[in-house]
Structure 1
Amino acid sequence: MKYIFALLFLVNSLFAYEFYAKLEPVNSYEIKAAVSGKVIYVNDEIEGKKANNSKIVEIDSYVDRIDLKQSKVKLKAVSQMLEIEEKNYNRMLQVSSKSGFEKDSQKLKAINYRTTKADIEVKIANLKDSIKNKMLKEKNRYIYNIAVKEGDYVNPGTLLYEAKDLSKGKLEIFVPIDDIADIKTKTIYLNGKKSDIKLDKVYKVADSKHISSYKVEIVVPDPKVFSRLVKVEFK
């Protein structure tokens, strides 16, 4: 009986697949500047910690805020002028003594104000977007690296900071193409412990370095420690 169990264990081992992978955060992010400007605030204290609705970086938006305030004043004035000119045009339509030229001229005034109003509305929307993009906050991601300092001038595309999602972990392994179908039917063991984890992604194009293998991703829920080597087995 002892020999039968030993034989079964040997057969099981022959059909097990073993890999090693480093457990990394499920997602990593590079947050880059969407607008240009001077960096006026950097939260150095949050680097290496998890954010909690924290402000990370702020780019100077003083001029934008003044411009936004004045643009709203202009919009209100132009809206009032447009309303007056449209009323004048509608009244003029009822006056038979007014020539077609006069009516067209009044209509053109209203159209010009309508165009000006639309331009100001677009400007206000752009200013709001610019101001929003100059205040960088994080809800709960881990702040891995802050790449700028107070006083730096940044342009669109400049790296501001890096953040990571620690809610889940990710293991990447490279499985020979011929073995993919078989591992899909097997149970995943992590560091020798049986799990109910399933394959998250199987890339159907061979990896550029591992030319005879497909990249396979395994998502690990709620890991306690990252960047450690994990033994992955399929049995």
Structure 2
Amino acid sequence: MKYIFALFLLVNSLFAYEFYAKLEPVNSYEIKAAVSGKVIYVNDEIEGKKANNSKIVEIDSYVDRIDLKQSKIKLKAISQMLKIEEKNYNRMLQVSSKSGFEKDSQKLKAINYQTTKADIEVKIANLQDSIKNKLLKEKDRYIYNIAVKEGDYVNPGTLLYEAKDLSKGKLEIFVPIDDIEEIKSKTIFLDGKKSNIKLDKVYKVADSKHISSYKVEIIVPDPKVFSRLVKIEFK
């Protein structure tokens, strides 16, 4: 009986597929500056911790905020002037003694104000976007690395900080192409323990380094420890 059981284990192991992978956060992010400016605030205390609607980095937006305020005042004035010129043009259309040249000139005034108004509206939108992009906050991601300091001047594309999503873990393995269909029907064991986890992604193009294998991703819910080596078996 013992011989039969040992033989069963041996046969079963022959049909098991074994891999090792490091458990990493499901997503990693590099947060880069979208605008240029001087860094006026860095939340050094949050580095290595999980954010909670936390301000991470702030870039100086003082001039932008003044420009935005004045642009809104200018927009209001231009809008009022546009209404006056449009009203004058409509009145002029009712006056038969006015020449076509005079009417066209008045219409041109209204069009110029319309163009100016549109330009100011675009400027306001750009300023609002710039101000928004100068205040970097995180809801609940883990702040892995802050790459700037107060007083630094950054340009678009400058790395500000790195963040990671710790809500799930991800394992990446490379499975021989001929074995892909076989493992899809098997149960996944992690560190020898049976799980209900399924394959999350199977890339249908061979990896550039592992030329005879497909990359496979396995998502692990609510992991407790990251960056550890995990034994993955398909049985």
- TM-score where L is the length of structure 2: 0.99
The unaligned stretches of length 5 or more in structure 1 are: none
Cα shift readout 1:86-106 (whole Å, capped 9, x = no counterpart): 000001101111110000000
The number of equivalent residue pairs is 235
What SS does structure 2 have at the residue aligned with 1:35? coil
State the partner residue of 1:12: 12
Q: Percent identity?
A: 93
State the partner residue of 1:171: 171
Deviation at residue 143 of structure 1 after TM alignment: 0.1
Task: Decide which moves more: 205-214 or 186-195.
Answer: 205-214
> In structure 2, how many angstroms separate the alpha carbons of the residues matched to 1:96 and 1:11?
103
Task: Decide which moves more: 206-215 or 166-175.
Answer: 206-215
Deviation at residue 206 of structure 1 after TM alignment: 1.2
> In structure 1, how many angstroms separate the alpha carbons of the residues matched to 2:144 and 2:2?
53
State the partner residue of 2:210: 210
Deviation at residue 10 of structure 1 after TM alignment: 1.3
Task: Decide which moves more: 174-183 or 204-213.
Answer: 204-213
State the partner residue of 2:89: 89
Cα shift readout 1:156-193 (whole Å, capped 9, x = no counterpart): 00000000000000000111111111000100000000
Deviation at residue 81 of structure 1 after TM alignment: 0.1
Deviation at residue 205 of structure 1 after TM alignment: 1.2
CA RMSD in angstroms, aligned pairs only: 0.6
> In structure 2, how many angstroms separate the alpha carbons of the residues matched to 1:185 and 1:93?
80
Deviation at residue 9 of structure 1 after TM alignment: 1.4
Task: Decide which moves more: 199-208 or 63-72.
Answer: 199-208
The unaligned stretches of length 5 or more in structure 2 are: none
> In structure 1, how many angstroms separate the alpha carbons of the residues matched to 2:89 and 2:3?
103
What SS does structure 2 have at the residue aligned with 1:85? helix
Deviation at residue 6 of structure 1 after TM alignment: 2.0
Deviation at residue 196 of structure 1 after TM alignment: 0.5
Deviation at residue 79 of structure 1 after TM alignment: 0.1
What SS does structure 2 have at the residue aligned with 1:197? coil
> In structure 1, how many angstroms separate the alpha carbons of the residues matched to 2:157 and 2:115?
33
Asked if residue 227 in structure 1 is aligned to residue 227 in structure 2, the reply is yes
Deviation at residue 204 of structure 1 after TM alignment: 1.1
Cα shift readout 1:51-110 (whole Å, capped 9, x = no counterpart): 000000000000000000000000000000000000000011011111100000000000
